[in-house]
Amino acid sequence: MSAARAVPQVHQVLATLWFGDAIGNEVLGIRRILRAAGYQSEIFVETADRQMEDQARDYLDLADVSAPHNLVIHHFSVGSKASRLAYALPDRMLLIYHNITPPEYAVDGHPQLARLCFMGRRELQAFASRSELAVGDSEFNRQDLERLGFAETAVLPVVPDFSHLDVPPDPLVAAQFGDDWTNILFVGRIVPNKRIDDLIRFYAAYRAYLDPRSRLLIVGSAAGFEWHLGALDELRRRLRLDHVHFLGHVSNAALTACYDVADVFLCASEHEGFCVPLVESFSKRVPVLAYAAAAVPATMDGGGVLYSSRDPLHVAALIHALVSDEAYRDSVLEAQDAALDRLLRQDFAGRLLGFVDQALRAPRRPAPVLAFDFWEQVRAARRLRELRTYRPSYGHAFPEGPGPGGQGPGDGGRRAGTKGRGPGASRW
């Protein structure tokens, strides 16, 4: 079959696939839609969570299935090697932009991530001439693409799949927090732009002046930001708040239980490209109180309560109104129900497939200009991957000193890849 008549494949590529992450859930949903529509479709990533490894392939393998008549759906949220490989391939491209956190939020405690965010912003601009179509998952993100020079832009709204919350709640979490105390909930990564420090201050005012029988539940991973979690815990100790609970990255059952016991969902984030937990709260009928910044007002779409003053007493009064005024709470929930209904009525699958067709039919962009040694670097990366896979001890240039009984220290003479052949059996 000639390339002109070949059935196009539509693959997705992104930097990282995380379990329970909003982008990860969307990527899996897109693959289901593409396969149901008859496309051969795989997910290619640079790194994957252990729980997601069986859902994805190494990004370097994308070059093996690449063809000019294919389409790559490129999820862009940070600069990466996967992104640069996608840029170099001859496939047409549909770019989905999930926004990039401004680097200043990470520069003090995570300079490597700050650099990635800064470089990601620069990389994104290069894709303006590479992408047949670029879509944001919110109007806020689409406008960002337009400012960066993308000519063909649109919105592919996030229509969350709530099936991960359709599980029995964790009985231990339900028993621990399902009492007559007021539970204020936040769900999101423990990162500076989420302004969890403000959540703690708001809760301190609420507890001190309005409701001593209350607690703050913070659900989310602090991976890579342990320093920030430590600073937040120090703030909690300074304010003598014994009922601020950092629950970490929890199971779907535990997350369901947290939503079930929550009286209010409180968000203070200063930068969001969409913010899925807001609409998760809508689906669980938890009233939402959120800071009016970035994409948050558009995501809430008239539901919940927005605030613009970060005065702790002001926010505490709003929390109290949602908890204590039944008529007010009911009106907020009614508005959230209507906003959620508008979101769920959107034809995500139809819009996605329409964008795929538009990108496949678009005039082909000029071939990208690459560094003279780009493909040699790709070949070197492949060789390095093979070493890591088949010779996992290749990096140990010198033998380790003997431990007790003449064996390697603490490993019983075995290391990954040796298959019990004795110390150093697989070394070069």
**Paired strand residues for 44:** 13, 57
Q: Per-residue pLDDT for the chain (428 aa), expressed as one digit of tens each?
A: 444 467 899 999 999 998 777 788 889 999 999 999 999 999 999 998 888 889 999 999 999 999 999 999 999 987 789 999 999 999 999 999 998 888 877 777 777 777 877 888 888 999 999 999 999 988 999 999 999 999 999 999 887 778 889 999 999 999 999 999 999 999 999 999 999 999 999 999 999 999 999 999 999 999 889 999 999 999 999 999 999 999 999 999 999 999 999 999 999 999 999 999 999 999 999 999 999 999 999 999 999 999 999 999 999 999 999 999 999 999 999 999 999 999 999 999 999 999 999 999 999 888 889 999 999 999 999 998 888 877 777 666 555 555 444 444 433 333 233 333 333 322 22
Question: Residue 206: phi, psi to the nearest 5?
Answer: -65, -45
Residue 395: the pLDDT is 63
pTM: 0.80
Nearest CA among 293, 292, 262, 305 for reference residue 280:
262
**Where in 207-328 does DSSP place strands (E)?**
214-219, 244-248, 264-267, 288-291, 305-307
Q: Which helix (H) or strand (E) holds 62?
A: helix 62-65
- Taken in order of first residue, the domains within the chain and their CATH numbers are 10-159+347-375 (3.40.50.2000), 162-344 (3.40.50.2000)
Virtual torsion, Cα 405, 409, 410, 413, nearest 10 deg: -60
Q: How many residues does the chain have?
A: 428
How many other C-beta atoms are found inside a 10 Å radius of the C-beta of residue 404?
7
CA distance 203 to 422: 58
Can you give the pLDDT at residue 394? 66
- For residues 38 and 59, is the Cβ–Cβ distance under 8 A? no
**What is the reported pLDDT for 337?**
98
Place of tokens 């815990």: 233
What is the predicted pLDDT for the residue at 37? 97
3-state secondary structure of 289: strand
